[in-house]
Structure 1
Amino acid sequence: MLVARPHDPGRRTAHVADSARRPASRYGNRPTMKDVAARAGVGLKTVSRVVNGESGVTADTERRVREAIEALGFRRNDSARVLRKGSTASIGLVLEDLADPFYGPLSRAVEEVARAHGALLINGSSAEDPDREQELALALCARRVDGLVVIPAGDDHRYLLPELKAGVATVFVDRPAGRIDADTVLSDSFGGARDGVAHLIAHGHTRIGFVGDLPRIHTAAERLRGYRAAMEEAGLRVDDAWVSLGPTSPERVEGATAAMLAGPEPVTAVFSGNNRVTVTVLRVLAAHPRPVALVGFDDFELADLLSPGVTVVAQDAAELGRTAAERLFRRLDGAAGGPERVTLPTRLIARGSGEIPPA
């Protein structure tokens, strides 16, 4: 049974008003550059220059073009632009964990460099899973990003060789690539850890524990190497019970720290391998009956407001991201030469926790 729709004057009025606001294009419903040019009374090339931010257009002409764009509701067709120019003006960033405070400044720095080059940043987390890293990196390549900034989760990046040969510029940051040669930007994890442990030794400690991340991670291995180097340079032995590497879960870190503090030769100081480990170690030390010195790798929010403040080996996450992104865009602009490795220095910030003497 057919039922006539009741007359709705408001519906008709709204439709007419919308049509008046956005005239239909003679090339379809979506306005084109030709429509904008006709309305503004200029040539197609002039509209293209205004849309793409190019020079050579007077202020009055640019104003007329922009008024026509606004009146018509014109939007640039980036898909067509990609087909013409062969680039998407986008880059991908593969992080370990977007929730980790260390990666916030790094991601922001990459985004700012991309923005300065007129590019869009697309990022995602690998969750420290090599398979997920590969899946994410290849998905970004499939979406035709011009380049990648990758914080590796795995140690074999040969899966990217076809993409590199196809022209996808790639820079690895924080950790080097595995089994391929590629541009890399690192912090001095070895030197920073050696300095942090040497600082504890200088304040009288000889039994120093090290609690770090998974040993397969480059930064964790380098910080352990720095710890051992500082102990060896001071002529101090390292008991196996004073070293623990593994997941950064609170349960694992709490157990490892408690064992070091309760052993037959309890440590009087702890060097923690990253900010997540440091936070958990702090909770254990807060409940411990005697004072224990602490130096952590990575600065973190409110570290200076605790009592005592937390002494840290700080790396510049923003500078890591900025340096990696600038290197990426130099490659995209045609910079030649073989892969380069840049190592940025760290900085020891003494705030009190690393200056506690042995109890």
Structure 2
Amino acid sequence: MNDVARAAGVSLKTVSRVVNGVQTVNPVLAAQVHTAIEALNYRPDIGASNLRRSDRRTGTIALLLEDVSNPFSSALHRAVEDEARTRDVQVLTGSLDEDPQRERELARAFTMRRADGLIIAPASADQSYLATEFQGDTPVVFVDRPGHGIPADTVLATNVTGAAEATRHLIDHGHRRIAYLGDYSRISTARQRHEGYLTAMRDAGLEPDPGHVVLDLHTTPTAESTVMDLLHRAEPPTALFTSQNLVTIGAVRALRRLGLHRTVALVGFDDFPLADLLEPAVTVIAQDPAMMGRIAAQALFSRIEGDTSAPRKHWIPTTLIRRGSGELPPSARLAGQQLADSL
């Protein structure tokens, strides 16, 4: 803070007031302080006197996920927390909501708290800023999605393989008109699952109907309305492959509203609570978020403890769980007039 005060040409008290968010500081002086803070890359050490231990660690790690309320993120979070607890380390967690700006804001907030390391499912296309935010030897681990701009350990699911397996499963049960419902195309996992779908279709000699491929879905309501639209077409799909759990739930709701849940086959990527209790139960490509969280936490703590080996990529395999919805055969009922008569 003394360095900032000298660079800004103001008193230490003025710097302290600006850092602590006091609104009565002269705007000109506050601007000088902010300029000096950015130039010196100064970050307040919140609670340092109480948090710092003899090894210069704070006993905290940061975990940034897409949405901690999502079942996938919740399971991953719990696994990280369990690993941290055995080491007497606390986990600071935030939801990114697919917002690159929020990613940077939360990364900076945890930097100010001097977290010993960061596990992140990145929302933005470039994480090179972390090299500045987390100066020194603060390690970073990417989970669920690869990072870009800095070298780091990465924990990923086999998205392409899992999506191809889901699509082949529907093909093996006689389906040719298979719709693909994808998440935001800017998300790497969504692109990989789309790639797996296309690969399996083309390997089977099938050309996907462009009208049956819908990208940039992310919520249950948008998925539900999209499936309703697809199934009202003259040549509707006989099967659906949904690329994430919220999209799958929307598809289930649409199928039940139309009375087609025993007629249209469905395979979803990601399991979700109560999927096995529906009728028919939902066939899924299940990830293992608990394993992903454990491996990510173990990799991070290994780095915190001094591992300086080259960054590693850890692949966590997916599993096809057959429950009934993905095993339905194609039905002639899906002819346009027959569908209209059934509504």
Could you tell me the TM-score, scaled by structure 2's length?
0.80
- How far the C-alpha of 1:304 sits from its partner, in A, is 0.8
Equivalent residues in 2 for 1:160-239, closer than 5 Å:
160-239=130-209
Aligned in 2, Cα 1:91/1:316: closer, same or farther, shift over 3 Å? same
Structure number, greater radius of gyration: 1
3-state SS of the aligned residue for 1:231?
helix
Q: CA deviation at 1:190?
A: 0.7
How big is the shift at 1:80?
A: 5.1
Mapped contact 2:178–2:238 kept (Cα < 8 A): yes
Question: Relative to structure 2, which stretch is displaced further, 286-295 or 195-204?
Answer: 286-295
**1:167 offset after TM fit, Å?**
1.4
Counterpart contact for 2:65–2:73, Cα < 8 Å: yes
The 2-side partners of 1:120 and 1:289 are apart by 48
CA distance in 1, matches of 2:198, 2:288: 24
1:271-316 CA-to-partner distances (Å, cap 9, x unmatched) read 0011100001001111225410000001111111111110000011
2:62/2:110 contact within 8 Å kept: yes
Taking the TM superposition and a 5 Å limit, the aligned residue runs for 1:129-148 are 129-148=99-118
CA 1:142/1:346 → structure 2, altered by over 3 Å: closer, same or farther?
Answer: same
- Partner secondary structure for residue 287 of structure 1: helix
Match of 1:328 among 296, 300, 320: 300
Query: Does residue 104 of structure 2 align to residue 104 of structure 1?
Result: no
Structure 2 matches for 1:1-359, cutoff 5 A?
79=49, 82=52, 84-290=54-260, 291-359=263-331
Return 5+ residue gaps in structure 1 as ranges.
1-76
SS at match of 1:184: strand
The 8 Å contact of residues 312 and 348 in structure 1, kept in 2 or not, is answered as yes
Q: Distance in 1 between matches of 2:216 and 2:109?
A: 30
- What corresponds to 2:12 in structure 1? none
Structure 1 residues 302 and 83, CA gap change in structure 2 (3 angstroms) = closer
C-alpha distance after superposition, 1:228-258 (max 9, x if no partner) = 0110111111111011111323332123212
Number of corresponding residues = 283
TM-score with structure 1 setting the length: 0.76
Preserved CA contact (<8 Å) 1:246 1:252: no
CA positional deviation for 1:263? 2.3
Asked if the contact 1:196–1:348 (Cα under 8 Å) also holds between the matched residues in 2, the reply is yes
Percent of paired sites with the same residue = 46
Once the two structures are TM-superposed, the CA of residue 81 in structure 1 deviates from its matched residue by 6.4
Distance (Å, rounded) in 1 between the aligned partners of 2:219 and 2:72: 16
The answer to whether the 8 Å contact 2:163/2:196 transfers is yes
> 1: CA distance between counterparts of 2:236 and 2:94?
42
What letter is aligned with 2:71?
Answer: P
What is the Cα deviation at residue 328 of structure 1?
A: 0.2
Q: Secondary structure at the match of 2:277?
A: coil
Please give the root-mean-square deviation of Cα atoms over the aligned residues, in Å.
1.5
The separation in 1 between residues aligned to 2:305 and 2:298, in whole angstroms, is 10
